[in-house]
């Protein structure tokens, strides 16, 4: 165990000197922050109104239909309307209601507001607008859910990339051959080299889902599914790492993994269920199904265990088939 930790410590020290390795470790967090910005913009209300805080009844009436911001002066209200986002200004005048617009608002959004103001001015108690919510099987933004799922699956590629970069560095330093005469066994060397890449998907995905605002899901199921997905990093990282002698060629080869990742996720999203059998070969597909059910709160332990077992079985089969090639590369 001590020798394994020494190998991990050495990889961490060498990785901190390389900006690319640091980026790979922080990439899930950075991508989650960027995705959260997009999710916030997509889920915002398309109709926002700025009014004067003068005690008029229009504030309460409009608050039932849209998001209302209040201002103490007309100058502050106009300044808010002139910003880049879509906000209309409404001012009560002796003649009725004055609508202030910048001109860059979304086409058509002023029609609803003008109709509401016209009815309010006429003194009609019942407005020709009804606000309701209909469940279409999504309790959250589809962009948030599907983007988060793709990010989770994508972190397995990042973990494998960390492993291959560390292996290539060892080969370039001619230290892999020295491992054969060192006290560390080949098994300890493999575990030590794979531990950092194995932990990256687990830590990165966990932090990413919390940044995106996912809270109501089963932590135990999430961790079990992540562990099975992280095993993919080991096979991918070692296979590409031992077959390449420089970082550029290793990263280029790693790009080929993006194809099954995207094919699995997009196929699961858009293919009719009767065609899903064409994706059964991919562990990324089974990982997507597990994570989708977990984040939606629909997962059962039977589903998680079955899907995780399939992922581990596929990964183990690939590793067993490629084990001779990996062992030769570590000599």
Confidence (pTM): 0.69
Spatial separation of the C-alpha atoms in residues 265 and 271, rounded to whole Å? 10
pLDDT tens digits, 116-161 = 777 776 665 444 545 454 444 455 677 888 888 999 998 888 888 8
pLDDT tens digits, 21-61 = 777 778 888 988 888 887 755 445 557 888 887 766 777 77
Instruction: Provide the mean pLDDT of the chain.
Output: 79
Nearest to 253 by CA among 270, 271, 238: 238
Alpha carbon distances (Å) from 255 to 1, 34, 234: 33, 22, 16
Spatial separation of the C-alpha atoms in residues 179 and 171, rounded to whole Å? 11
- Average pLDDT of the residues in 191-199: 79
Nearest to 156 by CA among 330, 252, 28: 28
CA 117 to chain centre: 41
What is the domain partition of the chain in residue ranges? 2-38+141-329, 48-121
Nearest to 171 by CA among 159, 189, 156, 197: 189
All residues at 6 or more sequence positions from 59 whose CB lies less than 8 Å from its CB, including other chains: 51, 53, 68, 70
- What pLDDT score does 180 carry? 60
- What pLDDT score does 290 carry? 94
pLDDT band at 285 (very low <50, low <70, confident <90, very high): very high
């Amino acid at each position: 165990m001590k020798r394994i930790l020494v190998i991990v410590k050495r990889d961490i020290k060498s990785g901190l000197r390389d900006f690319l390795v640091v980026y790979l470790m922080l990439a899930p967090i950075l991508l989650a922050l960027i995705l959260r910005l997009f999710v916030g913009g997509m889920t915002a209300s398309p109709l926002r109104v700025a009014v004067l805080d003068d005690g008029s009844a229009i504030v309460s009436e409009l608050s039932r239909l849209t998001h209302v911001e209040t201002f103490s002066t007309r100058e502050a209200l106009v300044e808010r309307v002139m910003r880049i986002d879509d906000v209309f200004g409404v001012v009560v005048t002796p003649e009725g209601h004055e609508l202030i617009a910048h001109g860059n608002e979304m086409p058509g959004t002023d029609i609803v507001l003008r109709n509401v103001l016209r009815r309010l001015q006429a003194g009609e108690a019942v407005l020709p607008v009804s606000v309701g919510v209909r469940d279409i099987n999504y309790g959250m933004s589809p962009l948030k859910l599907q983007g988060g799922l793709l990010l989770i699956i994508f972190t397995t590629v990042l973990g494998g990339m960390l492993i291959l970069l560390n292996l290539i560095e060892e080969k370039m330093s001619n230290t892999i051959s020295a491992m054969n005469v060192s006290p560390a066994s080949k098994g300890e060397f493999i575990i030590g080299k794979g531990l950092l890449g194995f932990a990256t998907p687990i830590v990165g995905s966990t932090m990413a889902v919390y940044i995106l605002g996912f809270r109501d899901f089963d932590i135990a199921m999430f961790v079990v599914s992540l562990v099975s997905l992280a095993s993919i990093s080991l096979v991918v990282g070692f296979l590409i790492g031992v077959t390449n002698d420089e970082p550029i060629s290793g990263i280029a080869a790693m790009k080929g993994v993006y194809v099954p990742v995207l094919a699995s996720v997009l196929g699961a999203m858009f293919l009719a269920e009767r065609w899903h059998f064409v994706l059964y070969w991919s562990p990324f597909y089974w990982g997507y199904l597990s994570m989708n059910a977990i984040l939606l709160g629909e997962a059962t332990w039977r589903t998680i265990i079955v899907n995780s077992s399939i992922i581990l079985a596929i990964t183990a089969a690939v590793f067993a088939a490629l084990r001779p090639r990996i062992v030769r590369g570590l000599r």
